[in-house]
């Protein structure tokens, strides 16, 4: 068995989350990804908790680890023209260049797309930024909440009777890199067919707009009020309290047959108000209150399994521990064990899929500058003494 | 078009429909293969249009269609070996709630996948039930992973000449999106809880969502002294006690909530007198780290998104079209929602 992207070469200038999650996918599928970092301007991911051990060792961030598996790492100071010259050698080697610097940075250090093309005419460059490089907001500086704010995600999140809600994780940093992975794969296909490279400008806002397409269509088809947990086509459809502090079970009843079964358990089988979907929707407050009375005091996992066995979709509202220890993930190989000099033995997630005729890998994330010699000397053919001198002088640091 | 020579059969309904949508956007010929009355999602016209514009529709037999196709994207139910017998180069992508295993027949909806993934536990307010996210995010995440799976297998086929089966888990896709909670438990033994619109980084928490004159903005007191000094400058006399704070000497993240509330009251009064556009302009000029919050109608009217060519006119609606902007000028694919079996004629 082989790795499906074996032979693909990526010079990865990206940092934090929005670029590195995409190149992690590519690396886990077998692409050779060389991550270019600098001690002068550490990848903020290396400074993000949780850390293995005490202190904040930049090689011991578990956040950085899950975002950078299977890559090689070198240090290049792009603020030094000699560093930029070495970066250009990596561009000449690469099929794909990825970056998510602030607007204009690549141009300022002398690595504009025009320059990259002059080095390698069929180069593919993928840039990820908050609102995209082109357009009136192209220079917008990114903050954690910008993509959620500008895409409609925040406005559509939260309870119908309350303010917009900021989901407490950077969803734009999740979906945009998935688009970037698709972009790299599609651009490789295009290049192999036509010989053409290209520069792809990915916004963090637009992928969120895409995954909210149905909400935007409903808005135009008659107005769309944010629904909380409710659904126009299913009732009950929500999270109900269970035994213990802040423990809940999500239940979604798809049709009247499922409702008949659930109503029997809840003890409201004879209540004509709830016999049809339209009746349940018209009396949803009362419906939810009766179900909550019944679920309260039951174990969330036992309840979910009991309803699932009847064919009714139900799952415990899991916390981080429930997810990490979910047997489903162990059975299907979601986590891969690594042994790392700073992190020790730990489990890192891999791509959520399985190929019948290819493998995937989840290997150690690089320590800062771990592969300097292997890349600069063995791969690029630079003189070892010159590399040492450039490291000493801070150009390769 | 990037994928113009690619032929895709889309057998999904709901879960995975975004996959064919994205491939069609990249220039692939994507045909929905529908039987009987067609995809049940046709009954929900806005959602059907959102996930299916740019595709074609056929009611022809799979035995006729599969030999000509590069890939099939589907949910479980068909025999992979039978498809492979029709076309040994076929890439067969199967998206399901779970990979094959003990849960393969467990009933799921987008809501229950969001619950199991842990995302619901952290979304919403502490005084109410956990909340899911708008739309169908577990289904969307699984669908995008199906595109990644499909194109990775396509690349592999270039090397081997052979097709293969790729199975994708929507549940695992949602777990990956929940990048912090399982990791935090693995490394610290702590579990997260809902904090509403309070951003919690240290011992305290800061407000993130604010009403302004014509809507809402997002901004927070954070440990970024230049940003905080910028806001104090912009507020002028309205800053009150904020003007006295030495931002280099304190840690906002650990400042007691009552103190922060007094400061936030000043900010709130300042924001209430200004529009989203005015505040956005001030932020751009002074580096305040503020964003206005766009409601769906604002998103649809955004000059920026229009200038980037995001939208496609589809049956009188504006729906997201382009996935990104490229230096290669690509003609826009059709913005048409396919009628049932319209390719058959």
Tell me, yes or no, whether A220 lies in a domain: no
| Among chain B residues, CA nearest to A332 | B99
Last residue of a domain, one of A295, A324, A353: A324
Q: What range does the domain containing A311 cover?
A: 237-324
CB contact under 8 A, B135 and A156: yes
Same domain membership, residue A246 and residue A265: yes
The CA distance from B310 to B155, in Å, is 27
**Res B345: pLDDT:** 65
Tell me, yes or no, whether A4 lies in a domain: no
Contact B243, B270 (CB under 8 A): no
The yes-or-no answer on residue A378 being catalytic is no
Task: Provide the greatest CA pair distance for chain A.
Answer: 86
**Res A103: pLDDT:** 86
Burial class for B223, CB neighbours closer than 10 Å (0-12, 13-18, 19+): middle
Contact B73, B18 (CB under 8 A): no
Model confidence pTM above 0.90: yes
Same domain membership, residue A342 and residue A257: no
For tokens 């169908």, name the residue.
B136
ipTM of the complex: 0.98
CB-facing half-sphere around the CA of A358: CA atoms within 13 A: 32
Same domain membership, residue A200 and residue A69: yes
Residue B84 backbone phi and psi in degrees, to 5: -65, -35
The CA distance from A141 to B343, in Å, is 46
**B7-179+307-320 and B198-293 share one CATH topology?**
no
**Res A325: pLDDT:** 97
The CA distance from A73 to A12, in Å, is 9
Concatenated DSSP letters for B39-92?
A: -GGGGSHHHHHHHHTT-EEE---HHHHGGG-SEEEE-S-S-HHHHHHH-TT-EE
Q: What's A373's domain CATH number?
A: 3.40.50.10540
Beta-bridged to residue A335, according to DSSP, are A349
Last residue of a domain, one of A324, A347, A369: A324
Same domain membership, residue A265 and residue A351: no
Domain boundaries B198-293, corresponding CATH code = 3.30.1540
Contact A116, A109 (CB under 8 A): no
Q: What's A319's domain CATH number?
A: 3.30.1540.10
Contact A97, A91 (CB under 8 A): yes
Mutate which of A220, A251, A311 to test chain B, going by most B C-beta atoms within 10 A? Answer: A220
CA A35 to mean position of chain CA atoms? 18
- Name every residue whose Cβ is closer than 8 Å to that of residue A105 and which is 6 or more positions away in sequence: A99
> What are A352-395's pLDDT values in tens digits?
999 999 999 999 999 999 999 999 999 999 999 999 999 999 99
| Among chain B residues, CA nearest to A227 | B134
Contact A303, A249 (CB under 8 A): yes
CB contact A355 to B (< 8 Å): yes
Choosing from A57, A173, A326, A347, which is the catalytic residue? A173
Closest partner CB to B179 (pick from A51, A66, A133): A66
Tens-level pLDDT at each residue, chain A (397 residues): 799 999 999 999 999 989 999 999 999 999 999 999 999 999 999 999 999 998 889 999 999 999 999 999 999 999 999 999 999 999 999 999 999 998 899 999 999 999 999 999 999 999 999 999 888 888 887 676 899 999 999 999 999 999 999 999 999 999 999 999 999 999 999 999 999 999 999 999 999 999 999 999 999 998 888 999 999 999 999 999 999 999 999 999 999 999 999 999 999 999 999 999 999 999 999 999 999 999 999 999 999 999 999 999 999 999 999 999 999 999 999 999 999 999 999 999 999 999 999 999 999 999 999 999 999 999 999 999 999 999 999 999 9
Mean pLDDT of chain A: 96
CB contact under 8 A, B209 and A321: no
Alpha-carbon dihedral angle through residues B115, B116, B118, B119, given to the nearest 10 degrees: -40
Tell me, yes or no, whether A27 lies in a domain: yes
Tell me, yes or no, whether A36 lies in a domain: yes
Nearest to A16 by CA among A170, A206, A182: A170
The count of domains in chain A is: 2
Nearest to A157 by CA among B19, B130, B151, B305: B130
* Regions of chain B with pLDDT less than 70: 345
Tell me, yes or no, whether A117 lies in a domain: yes
> What are A70-86's pLDDT values in tens digits?
999 999 999 999 999 99
Tell me, yes or no, whether A54 lies in a domain: yes
The CA distance from B66 to B78, in Å, is 13
Closest partner CB to A220 (pick from B137, B317, B322): B317
Contact A89, A381 (CB under 8 A): no
Same domain membership, residue A139 and residue A17: yes
CB contact under 8 A, A320 and B118: yes
For a pLDDT cut of 70, what percent of chain B falls above it? 100
How far apart, in Å, do the first and last CA atoms of chain A sit?
37
Contact B74, B12 (CB under 8 A): yes
Tell me, yes or no, whether A73 lies in a domain: yes
CB contact A300 to B (< 8 Å): no
Q: Can you read off the two tokens belonging to residue A207?
A: 């992928």
CB contact B101 to A (< 8 Å): yes
Same domain membership, residue A153 and residue A104: yes
CB contact under 8 A, A4 and B152: yes
CB contact B198 to A (< 8 Å): no
**Res B201: pLDDT:** 80
**Every domain of chain B and the residues it spans:** 7-179+307-320, 198-293
Tell me, yes or no, whether A2 lies in a domain: no
Same domain membership, residue A243 and residue A207: no
Same domain membership, residue A354 and residue A294: no
Same domain membership, residue A199 and residue A85: yes
107-126 of A, contacting B, C-beta below 8 A: 113
Which residues of chain A does B212 touch, with a Cβ-Cβ cutoff of 8 Å?
none
CB contact B289 to A (< 8 Å): yes
State how beta strands B71-74 and B209-212 pair: unpaired
CB contact A47 to B (< 8 Å): no
Q: Can you read off the two tokens belonging to residue B204?
A: 């305290």
Same domain membership, residue A85 and residue A107: yes
Burial class for B298, CB neighbours closer than 10 Å (0-12, 13-18, 19+): middle
Mean pLDDT of chain B: 95
Last residue of a domain, one of A265, A295, A324: A324
CB contact B104 to A (< 8 Å): no
**Res B292: pLDDT:** 96
Same domain membership, residue A242 and residue A106: no
**Res A284: pLDDT:** 98
Q: Which contacts of B35-40 are long-range, i.e. CB under 8 A and separated by 24 or more positions?
A: B35/B59, B37/B340, B38/B340, B38/B341, B39/B13, B40/B13, B40/B14
Contact A117, A123 (CB under 8 A): yes
Same domain membership, residue A153 and residue A22: yes
Q: Which CATH number fits domain B7-179+307-320: 3.40.50.10540, 3.40.30.10, 3.40.960.10, 3.20.20.60?
A: 3.40.50.10540
Helix (H, G, I), strand (E, B), or coil: what is residue A182? helix
């Amino acid at each position: 068995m082989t790795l499906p992207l074996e032979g693909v070469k990526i010079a990865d200038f990206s940092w934090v989350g929005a670029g590195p999650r995409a190149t992690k996918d590519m690396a886990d599928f077998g692409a050779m990804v060389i991550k270019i970092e600098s001690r002068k301007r550490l990848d903020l991911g290396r400074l993000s908790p949780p850390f293995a051990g005490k202190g904040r060792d930049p090689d011991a961030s578990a956040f950085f680890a899950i975002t950078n598996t299977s890559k090689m790492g070198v240090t290049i100071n792009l603020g030094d023209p000699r560093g930029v010259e070495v970066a250009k050698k990596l561009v000449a080697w690469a099929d794909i260049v990825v970056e998510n610097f602030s607007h204009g940075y690549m141009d300022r250090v002398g690595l504009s797309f025009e320059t990259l093309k002059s080095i390698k005419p069929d180069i593919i460059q993928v840039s990820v930024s908050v609102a995209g490089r082109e357009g009136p907001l192209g220079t917008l500086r990114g903050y954690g909440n910008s993509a959620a704010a500008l895409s409609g995600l925040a406005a559509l999140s939260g309870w119908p009777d309350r303010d917009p809600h900021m989901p407490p994780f950077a969803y734009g940093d999740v979906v945009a890199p998935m688009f970037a992975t698709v972009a790299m794969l599609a651009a490789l296909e295009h290049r192999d067919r036509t010989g053409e490279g290209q520069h792809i400008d990915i916004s963090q806002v637009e992928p969120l707009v895409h995954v909210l397409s149905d909400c935007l269509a409903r808005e135009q088809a008659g107005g769309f009020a944010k629904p909380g947990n409710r659904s126009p086509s299913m009732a009950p459809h929500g999270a109900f309290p269970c035994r213990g502090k802040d423990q809940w079970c999500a239940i979604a009843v798809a049709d009247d047959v499922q409702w008949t079964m659930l109503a029997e358990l809840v003890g409201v089988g004879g209540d004509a108000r709830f016999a049809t979907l339209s009746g349940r929707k018209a009396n949803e407050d009362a419906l939810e209150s009766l179900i909550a009375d019944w679920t309260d005091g039951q174990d969330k996992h036992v309840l979910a399994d009991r309803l699932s066995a009847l064919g009714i979709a139900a799952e415990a509202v899991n916390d981080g521990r429930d997810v990490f220890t979910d047997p489903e993930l162990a059975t299907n190989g979601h986590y891969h064990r690594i042994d790392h000099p700073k992190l020790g033995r730990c489990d890192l997630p891999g791509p959520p899929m399985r190929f019948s005729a290819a493998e995937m890998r989840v290997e150690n994330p690089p320590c800062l500058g771990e592969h300097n010699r292997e890349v600069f000397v063995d791969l690029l053919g630079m003189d070892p003494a010159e590399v040492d001198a450039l490291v000493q002088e801070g150009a390769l640091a | 078009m990037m994928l113009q020579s690619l032929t895709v059969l889309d057998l999904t309904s709901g879960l995975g429909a975004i996959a064919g949508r994205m491939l069609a956007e990249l220039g692939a010929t994507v045909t929905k293969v529908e039987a009987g009355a067609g995809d049940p999602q046709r009954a929900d016209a806005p959602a059907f249009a959102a996930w299916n514009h740019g595709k074609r529709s056929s009611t022809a037999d799979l035995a006729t269609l599969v030999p000509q196709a590069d890939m099939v994207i589907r949910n479980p139910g068909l025999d992979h070996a039978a498809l492979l017998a029709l076309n040994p180069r076929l890439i067969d992508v199967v998206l399901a709630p779970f990979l094959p295993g003990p849960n393969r027949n467990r009933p799921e909806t987008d809501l229950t996948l969001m619950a199991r993934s842990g995302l619901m536990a952290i979304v919403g307010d502490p005084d109410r039930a956990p909340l899911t996210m708008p739309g169908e995010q577990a289904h969307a995440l699984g669908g995008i992973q199906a595109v990644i799976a499909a194109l990775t297998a396509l690349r592999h086929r270039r090397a081997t000449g052979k097709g293969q089966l790729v199975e994708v888990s929507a549940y695992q896709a949602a777990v990956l999106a929940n990048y912090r909670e399982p990791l935090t438990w693995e490394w610290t033994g702590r579990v997260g809880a809902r904090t509403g619109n309070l951003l919690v980084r240290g011992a305290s928490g800061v407000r993130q969502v604010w009403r302004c004159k014509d809507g809402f903005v997002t901004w927070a007191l954070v440990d970024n002294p230049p940003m905080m000094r910028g806001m104090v400058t912009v507020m002028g006399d309205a800053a009150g006690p904020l003007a006295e704070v030495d931002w280099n000497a304190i840690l906002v993240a650990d400042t007691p909530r009552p103190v922060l509330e007094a400061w936030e009251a000043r900010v709130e009064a300042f924001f209430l007198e200004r529009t989203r556009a005015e505040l956005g302009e001030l932020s751009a000029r002074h580096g305040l780290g503020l964003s206005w919050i766009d409601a769906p109608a604002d998103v649809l009217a955004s000059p920026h998104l229009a200038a980037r060519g995001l939208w496609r006119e589809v049956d009188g609606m504006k729906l997201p079209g382009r996935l990104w902007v490229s230096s290669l000028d690509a003609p826009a694919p059709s913005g048409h929602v396919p009628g049932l079996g319209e390719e058959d004629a």
